Each structure stands twice: as C-alpha cells, then as structure tokens.
Amino acid sequence: MYIFLGVAFIAAVISIVLAQRAAAPVMMPEPISEPVEVMCTADAMQCPDGSYVGRTGPNCAFVCPEGASASTDKSDVIVLDTPQPRDVISTPLTLNGKARGGWFFEASFPVTLTNWNGLIIAEGPATAVGDWMTSEFVPFTMDLPFINPYQAGDPDFMKRGTLILQKDNPSGEPQNDAALQIEIRFAP
C-alpha cells in the first residue's frame, strides 16, 4: 500500500509540474545578429562643390561634404581642349588641355569616365607636359582606353557618359577637392 501511495504522490507531483510548464510562456533567447559587410557599387556622383564622392555607409548612399557650394566654371584653373562637351568619343579617348600647377600632384591628376548610370568604366592619371610646380597653366595629355558601354540598338540614353577631371588632393581634405565634369557621348 505504501508503494501505491508513493507512486500516486510522484504522479501528482509530475502532473502539477507539467501543468505549470504548459501555462508558463516559453522564453526563447533573442537571436544574435552578426554584422553584415556591405559592398557598394563603384558609382560616382558630383556634389554641388564640384567634388566627387562614391557610395558609402550601410545604405550605400552618396554623402557630399558639408557646406558644399555650387560652382561649375573651372576655366580659371583647368581647361579641356579635347574632348568638348557632348563630343562623340571612341576608345582610346585622347584628352588634351591645360591646368594650373595646383591641380596636379606629382605631375598628374585623376580622370574618371562613367556610363549614363554613373558606373565607372575607366580611370587613370592625366600627365603634365612640362614643369607642374607653378601657379601658371601647364599642358596635360592622356590616352584613356575603355570598353564602350553603348552598343548599336541600345536606347539613346545609354549613349550618354561623363568625363571627370579631378584635382589631385593628397591631403584628403574636402575643402581641397575640385573637379571638372563634362557630358560626352559614346560612339556605337
């Protein structure tokens, strides 16, 4: 009889414990989210101050420097003779012009070519022809090979592109950034 009472007591205790567990909410641990590395496309955008920025941050947004002021006329510091705005170009693109010595660093400055959507399709340095350590204008030249993004039969808007001649800025300070941007057309 004691055995029967012992088994009944144990069964009652187990029933009570199971009933309490069923009534209590189950607490699940919060999932731990691991940091996600964001890879942004290699696009470029011109800011109102003439500088160019790429996509950055977790949302791959374009972020211009604070206090940017709009000024597109750069003829007092850089002049591009060829190509001219809206010229039809083919590869390799030959650039010729002149820039004041302060536009160069170590006798060169970066040039970028983008397609209609801002995707960089070619880049490289334009080179000074002569002594660049002056405040006067110095001739520059460059041959820029690229793969033509426009093919016959593509929509007309895909003919557009942008050529960006950026002041070399070894300091990295935003106030020293400047660029000349011209619209070009790709040959079919």
Considering the domain boundaries, does residue 138 fall inside one? yes
Q: Is residue 66 part of a domain?
A: yes
Is residue 141, in this structure, part of any structural domain at all? yes
* Confidence at 71, pLDDT banded by 50, 70, 90: very low
Q: Provide the number of structural domains found in the chain.
A: 1
| Residue 23 pLDDT grade (very low, low, confident, very high; cuts 50, 70, 90) | low
Task: Output the pLDDT for position 18.
Answer: 64
Instruction: Determine the distance from the C-alpha atom of residue 116 to the mean position of all C-alpha atoms in its chain, rounded to a whole number.
Output: 15
**What is the rounded CA–CA span in Å between residue 43 and residue 99?**
25
Query: Is residue 153 within 8 Å of 117, Cβ to Cβ?
Result: no
**Is residue 89 predicted with pLDDT exceeding 50?**
yes
Q: Which stretches does DSSP call E strand in the chain? A: 44-46, 52-56, 61-62, 78-82, 88-89, 93-100, 108-114, 120-128, 137-144, 160-166, 179-186
Q: Is residue 29 part of a domain?
A: no
Give a yes or no: residue 33 inside a domain.
Answer: no
Mean pLDDT over residues 160-168, rounded? 95
Confidence of residue 68 (pLDDT cuts 50, 70, 90): very low
Domain extent at residue 97 = 44-186
Residue 154 lies in a domain: yes
Q: Which CATH number characterizes residue 79's domain?
A: 2.60.40.2550
Residue 59 domain-assigned?
yes
pTM of the model: 0.62
The verdict on residue 31 lying in a domain is no
